[in-house]
Structure 1
């Protein structure tokens, strides 16, 4: 028999500590986010400030629209009507269904709707909406098709990172560890290396991202929080970018790594400790998170979320196994000829030899946050405000409330910390609407901390943001 669903009245957002100041803090957060985005779009043209959101050649050909890596190009397409129908149905029925269906029904429904949402948004631009970026010359897929010898690819990888080096890698290949390209090498080897075939695989994987977060929350005894936040995870504005970018694969790999870590922690909790599941889930978590580091140089930051998972679980038992498994991944790459610690300094040099040196940090420190809000949605600003109010209340009473509130506060805070770390590093100037996709689901958790009466308007704002971005901008991703 299916488990009885948790009702919305049991979610953590009503009784959490510090609740009195949440509406005001959420409003401040929403207003601040809106002003930030407006300023980021307005400042460059108003003050004739060249911030280099795109290359000079791209700007000359298409114009540009900082802080996003895109251009103004309104249009409708075959995906418009389905996207509108999904958005309306999701706002009207999504929260109610998420609260009432069985857990298996929630996961199945979340995947089906996420898949439809991703496809519908991408197909606003027709088939090219799915394929134009994955098949671009500066992306992983064309390079993957040319890899005949994986061993030679790994051993010669670092030598081809520097700007002007013989056979230098295209931008995205050089800007990531080789795991990102190897994923597409595998697709090509199994007959899925065409632009459209690879795009379908990416979308199918991207649609599992909400599931990974939901599984993580339930493993941390926060099913109420999972049901509250499910519609926001599924109908995220980030779908505009997740469905058409190889970075969706990075987000999915690390999210499932965190889910496995939470499952390992649950299995290892006393008194009913189960060693085999603990070892299996922890090892799988280490393999996935370890591979995440070889998909993106920024993914060591996701370790902050991993620590938050273990703190919420009140169990550190998965950590040794996960660390050993992750080190095994590192060792395998090193034996294959690629050392992450040797490649990163070379990548930093190439980064500053390229367009990054022209991108002023005086703009991009805050312009990045605006670009992130385009991807994550303005409502996340309200969620962050609510998070700050609840954290303040929790500190005053020295408790984060029940497991739902505890999970949301810790994981949402870890997501914020990831963004801050990435921003101050100086290695993420522009293009973060795509680069920071792995952080977006954890920021989205803050929306479950909003007062109940805010949630439907917040969800409506999120789907509206996705529709506006997709229909008004050529996003380049």
Structure 2
């Protein structure tokens, strides 16, 4: 890319005094919101009004790690030191796999501070998807799918709370010979961390390579990394991110193959999680920004219908699944009984933890001017807020927000490189959360 083109795409800074002031106010608001959510949550817990959670608004418990966090801290320090330089100097084709590898290493290092079995232990819980695979084996996948909504009440918590595709994917993985939660965990981590590449590719196609390079270190070190290993929502993040990235590639290059891939992945989203429906705001923002040809749009739309059509023919009617899941949710003693008023606000505080203060500092400047990055961040926030207001996400959003939060982190690309101070803050918050909070995911 020519130097004059790089200069043209480089964000023009706002007046230093005003930008700094707004950023400090945003970070102060972030700190008050996060602190207030934990203080009020503790009051509600003591009064018996915040059910199930030991550390509301997180579905987690307090703890203290000491020497166990040291390896991850060392890796985090190295990442803060070298990632900005790599993002600036490496060629694009080399930078992407390096960033992916860095994200995987950081994710695994954080998880291993909980022990050698930490990468698969969350999936061994009796509430998780693997515990529900016996029903698929007993009935066969076709019969299990056909009767999924009718028999939903007898399945494990996560199977009940989602459409059938995640369970079928893990069943298919085992059928290939990759049995056990270790392989399931590997699938989740590899797919989830690949979102770093997919998000950067999207930014490059809609906002230019300089911003994509600036965003990569923040994407790698975002605190949401804590919930990549091994919540299934990290897999949803990867699928949604690649669907959006392929949409951007198809729009800019006119590639019908990329359009077909984008459509197929988009079609899977409602069948992976009911909460992913608002994520369609992101590919829609890409379409608005790039204005693809009618032929590309037609291929995306047609291919997006393939998965819904296949599930419908197989006997699963998506609205029936929504209704059945909502019914089991209402009669449960858990999240349905939590305070709507508290979690409507506390859920936003959890988003603040996932994206970190560096993102909060950058948001005011980003939204003060019209630019493609603001469209992507705004689309993610709109989708996330729609879920929050709906009331179906009362707690446990540290994993549910992951497919949305990665896009909000893009605001951090506003920081002038190398931005090591802000990267250190992000890594430090991640390490503090890992050391002080024992998550069930």
Distance in 1 of aligned mates of 2:273 and 2:247: 20
Which of 458, 463, 466 is the matching residue for 2:422? 458
What CA RMSD, in Å, does the superposition of the two structures yield over aligned residues?
2.3
Q: Which consecutive residues of structure 1, in runs of 5 or more, have no partner in the other structure?
A: 269-276, 395-399, 401-405
5 Å-filtered alignment, 1:225-304, equals 225-268=211-254, 277=255, 279-304=256-281
2: CA distance between counterparts of 1:324 and 1:20? 50
Aligned to 2:419, the other structure's residue is in SS state helix
d(CA) in 2 for partners of 1:53, 1:131: 26
Pick from 408, 427, 438: which aligns with 1:474? 438
In the alignment, the residues of structure 2 paired with residue 215 and residue 51 of structure 1 have an alpha-carbon distance, to the nearest angstrom, of: 44
Residue in 1 that maps onto 2:31: 34
Supply the distance in 2 between the matched residues of 1:4 and 1:202 (Cα, whole angstroms): 38
Distance in 1 between residues matched to 2:148 and 2:158, nearest whole Å: 13
Residue in 1 that maps onto 2:339: 360
> In the aligned structure 1, how far is the partner of 2:10 from the partner of 2:160?
44
Report how far residue 144 of structure 1 moved. Answer: 2.4
- For residues 214 and 440 of structure 2, what CA distance do their matches in structure 1 show? 32
Offset, 1:464: 0.8
Shift of residue 180, structure 1, vs aligned partner:
1.2
Q: How many residues align structurally?
A: 436
How far does residue 315 in structure 1 lie from its aligned partner after superposition? 2.5
Q: Name the CA shift for 1:379/1:343 in 2 (closer, same or farther; >3 Å).
A: same
1:44 partnered with 2:8? no
Q: 1:49 deviation in Å?
A: 4.2
TM superposition shift of 1:453? 7.3
The match for 2:282 among 302, 305, 310 is: 305
Deviation at 1:192, TM superposition (A): 2.0
Distance 1:153 1:16, change over 3 A: farther
Matched with 2:130 is 141
CA distance in 2, matches of 1:32, 1:440: 18
| Aligned-partner SS, 1:337 | coil
2:165 maps to which of 179, 191, 197 = 179
Moved more, 225-234 or 127-136: 127-136
* Rounded Cα–Cα distance in structure 1 between residues aligned with 2:4 and 2:93: 13
After TM superposition, the structure 1 stretch with the greater mean CA deviation from structure 2, 196-205 or 208-217, is 196-205
Whole-Å separation in 2 of the counterparts to 1:285 and 1:160 = 32
Q: Deviations over 1:101-127 (max 9, x none)?
A: 100111021011111101100000012
- Shift in CA distance, 183/18, structure 1 to aligned 2, threshold 3 Å: farther
- Output the TM-score relative to the length of structure 1: 0.86
Deviation, 1:18, is: 7.7
1:351 to 329, 350, 359: 329
Matches within 5 A, 1:13-32: 13=11, 15=12, 21-32=18-29
Q: Residues 20-419 of structure 1 correspond to what in structure 2 (within 5 A)?
A: 21-46=18-43, 48-52=46-50, 54=52, 64-76=54-66, 80-148=69-137, 149-161=140-152, 165=153, 168-268=154-254, 277=255, 279-315=256-292, 317=294, 318-354=296-332, 355-388=334-367, 390=368, 394=369, 400=370, 406-419=371-384
Give yes or no for the alignment of 1:442 onto 2:407.
yes
Structure 2: distance between partners of 1:360 and 1:221: 40
**CA gap 1:8/1:67 in 2 versus in 1, 3 angstroms:** farther
